[in-house]
């Protein structure tokens, strides 16, 4: 998902009057997808639009638009070729805003993963458990005043890549759980 889709998700959430942050919403979708597979779309869309007062036409259009984001995300995860792109602000945005969005993305992922997992023990062990621990740390991270801008940009890029790869690893690790139908 290119950075422009972050803007599209931002616009969709704004039109809906949803209070959530776009990065957190996409992280939530990815967490749900790891636990539920394609069944992640309906609960994700429902949660995003739960408190939104929308007319039927607007609601249907937003459901379709958000559904497209969910399908695109699921296809990237299912491809297993590391094509998943995180919905984060673009490089033109200030680094502190991008870093904060990455933290929110990780929080959303952990929320979606825990919400979708029928057996929490499956996500608390193995690679998934380690990744969740790393995501907790990333969600708390702050920019260091001691780093140069170039160092901070490099560190941010490495974290984004780490998160991207980690999500794919969690998706693959939970494939057997999804196949057995132990997730709800």
Q: For the CA atoms of 1, 12, 92, 99, what is the dihedral angle to 10 degrees?
A: -80
Whether the CB-CB separation of 108 and 24 falls below 8 Å is answered with yes
User: What is the residue-wise DSSP string for 46-88?
Assistant: HHHHTT----HHHHHHHHHHHHHHHHHHHHHHHHTSS------
pLDDT for 182 beyond 80: no
**Nearest CA to 172 among 44, 33, 40, 52?**
33
The chain-wide mean pLDDT, for the chain, equals 88
- Cα of first residue to Cα of last residue in the chain, in angstroms, is 26
Is residue 105 predicted with pLDDT exceeding 90? yes
* Burial label, 2 (beta-carbon count in 10 A; 0-12, 13-18, 19+): exposed
pLDDT of residue 184: 44
pTM of the model: 0.90
Record the tokens describing residue 106, joined without a space: 């990780």
Buried-exposed string 111-150: b where 16+ CB fall within 10 A, e elsewhere: bbbebbbeeeebbeeeebeebbeebeebbeeeeeeeeeee
- Tens of pLDDT along 57-90? 888 999 999 999 999 999 999 998 999 999 999 9
pLDDT 10s digits, 12-62: 998 888 878 999 999 999 999 999 999 999 999 999 998 888 888 888 999
What residue ranges define each of the domains in the chain, with the CATH number in brackets? 3-180 (1.20.120.740)
Span 100-127, average pLDDT: 85
């Amino acid at each position: 998902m290119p950075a422009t889709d972050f803007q599209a998700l931002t616009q969709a959430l704004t039109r809906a009057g949803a209070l959530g942050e776009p990065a957190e919403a996409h992280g939530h979708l990815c967490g749900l997808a790891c636990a539920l597979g394609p069944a992640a779309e309906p609960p994700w869309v429902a949660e995003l639009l739960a408190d939104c007062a929308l007319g039927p036409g607007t609601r249907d259009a937003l459901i379709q638009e958000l559904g497209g984001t969910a399908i695109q995300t699921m296809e990237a995860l299912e491809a297993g070729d590391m094509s998943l792109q995180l919905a984060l602000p673009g490089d033109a945005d200030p680094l502190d805003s991008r870093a904060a969005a990455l933290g929110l993305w990780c929080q959303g992922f952990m929320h979606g993963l825990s919400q979708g997992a029928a057996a929490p023990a499956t996500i608390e062990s193995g690679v998934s458990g380690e990744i969740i621990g790393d995501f907790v740390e990333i969600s708390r991270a702050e920019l260091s005043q001691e780093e140069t801008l170039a160092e901070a940009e490099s560190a941010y890029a490495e974290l984004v890549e780490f998160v991207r790869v980690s999500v794919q690893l969690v998706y693959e690790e939970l494939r057997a759980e999804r196949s057995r139908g132990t997730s709800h």
